[in-house]
Amino acid sequence: MRRIGIPHPRLPLPEPGQADDPQAFLAWLAGAIPMVAHLGIRDMTREGESLAWELALEPNLNDKGTGFGGALTAQTTLLGWCWTTLWLRERGLARDVVVADATQRFLAPVTGDYRMTCTPEAPEGTESLASQLESRGRGRIALVQQLWCGGTLCLEARGDYAVLKAD
């Protein structure tokens, strides 16, 4: 059980050259952030610089029977946090990540199960983050999240994620 003010233990880093097991990462995440167990995340995949979640709509319904904006906003923020955390872990870095700024644009109602993707906003985003970490010990990256319900883009979000200095 989580306690206020007590950090959750970090997930051990994967072996060098290995990526995190998606299901193990999601299980750890649900323990670290209790609300994750209630977001309807069914699957997580990583391809190149894209991280994607498949989600169920039912736990995220609003009073109108469509996606609740607050839940969708939380998911976009968390997906960006996961993208940054997994990127660091692939490089053998266990670092704290925080969202520094986030915006969302709701484009269409979410009426069924959906897919969220997260990618760097700029093509040079990861190179810039790596350079910042090397030179200053901390860095920031801008990420874009998109929510797709079938072929319809329902939500676009953008967030700046800060990687803090090592303890």
Is residue 104 in some structural domain? yes
Confidence at residue 19, expressed as pLDDT on a 0 to 100 scale? 86
Assigned domain for 167 exists: no
CA quadruple 109, 114, 115, 116: dihedral, nearest 10: 40
Examine residue 1 and state whether it is found in any structural domain, yes or no.
no
Residues of the chain with pLDDT under 70: none
pTM of the model: 0.96
pLDDT value of residue 21 = 93
Decide if 115 is inside a domain. yes
Residue 17 in domain: no
Determine whether 37 is exposed, middle or buried from the number of CB atoms within 10 Å of its CB (0-12, 13-18, 19+): middle
13 three-state secondary structure: coil
CATH of the domain at 38: 3.10.129.10
Q: What is the pLDDT of residue 17?
A: 80
Number of domains in the chain: 1
Question: What pLDDT, on a 0 to 100 scale, did the predictor assign at position 16?
Answer: 85
Provide the residue range defining the domain that includes 105. Answer: 22-50+58-144
Structure tokens of 8? 């959750």
The answer to whether position 69 is within a domain reads: yes
d(Cα 39, Cα 73) in Å, to the nearest integer? Answer: 11
